[in-house]
Amino acid sequence: MDGEGGCLDAAAAGDAAGDHADAFLIGNGAAELFTWAARDAAACGLSVLPAPGFADYVRALDCWQAALREQHLPLHWLSAFPQPLPDFDHGGADVIWICNPHNPTGQLWSRVSLEPLLSRFALVICDEAFLSLVPDGEQQSLIPLVARHPNLVVIRSLTKLYGIAGLRLGYAVAQPERLQRWAEWRDPWPVNGVALAVGERLLASPRRYQRWCERVQRWTAKEGAWMQQQLAMLPRITPMPSAANFLLIRSEKSLVPLREALEQRHRILLRDCRSFTGLGETWLRIGLQSPRNNRRIVRAMRQELQRNPLG
């Protein structure tokens, strides 16, 4: 990146892309980088998107009138992570979009199960926005494969790890020729100076960055396990296994009344999952909070389920 972004490139590239700073491109959040990945995907042919999945991939592909097909994933999975990417029909597609850990399910897929995709597809786009929050998640990253595979793009976000979503700061790791092409397509100065300054500070010390990741991963492991246990004790609620800092819950009955009651009476907002292909009103997603707020969520859910039982 030009000008003031160069320092951030140098600081982050050592950890993200080895010694090759030109294999690293800063973006105005991961969303901007999805847009350029989608332009490449449109030129390759048909994209297959595992569903349910993050809606921004579709938005990015629609920018370029790209051909796409959503393919449903199984909605039951094991609790041991990492696990292999489940079988699904991706025949005939030229591009695959993968999110690891998967949003919204929280499944962590193994690198060994993802690597064969690189020989099957003309382009593999892997969104690792949440991976740095997952205990031992880096062992499943595809970043070490970028140097050997020109058809691989890995996109990450600093906003999840540091809770700085409003600053808009993400990065892509790919072979330099691809990233140079993206840099020529984009508007000049796409990342604002405040975000760059914060990013430089956050990434200035690899040791400090590693300590922060370890702290966040301990929180994910501890609070995730606690939340799973507590939610499993609620009547007619099934929490799904998750390796990430969020988890899905499902029920046989609509969870919309519960979500609305939590919002109106407790000022707690859970993620409505009706916008995810393949999910619906019987699903909600919960993001892990501080221990105090996690307990507040469970307590409020218990009160509302006592007041208005499901079923």
Same domain, 191 and 221: no
pLDDT above 60: residue 3: no
Of 17-21, 87-91, 262-266, highest mean pLDDT: 262-266
- Name the packing angle between helices 29-44 and 176-185 (round to 10°): 110
Same domain, 165 and 294: no
Query: Which of 204, 225, 256 finishes a domain?
Result: 204
pLDDT at 189: 87
pLDDT at 20: 61
**Sign for the pseudo-dihedral over CA of 288, 291, 293, 299:** positive
Same domain, 197 and 215: no
The boundaries of the domain holding residue 239 are: 208-307
Same domain, 158 and 237: no
pLDDT above 50: residue 6: no
Reference 101, options 125, 81, 71, 78; nearest CA is: 81
* Cα angle: 175, vertex 170, 242; to 5 degrees: 100
Same domain, 258 and 200: no
Same domain, 177 and 68: yes
Is residue 99 within 8 A of residue 127, CB to CB? The reply is: yes
State what percent of residues in the chain have pLDDT above 90: 77
Domains held by the chain: number: 2
Pairing type for strands 95-99 and 47-51 reads parallel
Same domain, 166 and 242: no
pLDDT above 50: residue 4: no
Q: Give the domain CATH number at 285.
A: 3.90.1150.10
Same domain, 262 and 276: yes
pLDDT above 70: residue 246: yes
Helices (H), the chain: 6-16, 29-44, 56-63, 111-114, 117-120, 158-162, 176-185, 193-203, 206-232, 256-266, 291-307
Same domain, 31 and 180: yes
Is residue 62 within 8 A of residue 49, CB to CB? The reply is: no
pLDDT at 5: 47
pLDDT above 90: residue 239: yes
Q: Give the domain CATH number at 51.
A: 3.40.640.10
Same domain, 113 and 175: yes
Give 144-168 pLDDT, tens digit per residue: 999 999 999 999 999 889 888 888 9
Query: Which of 159, 182, 204 finishes a domain?
Result: 204
Reference 243, options 223, 272, 259, 269; nearest CA is: 223
pLDDT above 60: residue 216: yes
pLDDT at 84: 95
pLDDT above 60: residue 9: no
Q: Please provide the average confidence, as pLDDT, over all residues in the chain.
A: 91
Same domain, 124 and 105: yes
Same domain, 230 and 281: yes
Query: Which of 162, 185, 204 finishes a domain?
Result: 204
Q: Which of 21-25, 233-237, 304-308 has the lowest mean pLDDT?
A: 21-25
Would the pTM count as exceeding 0.85? yes
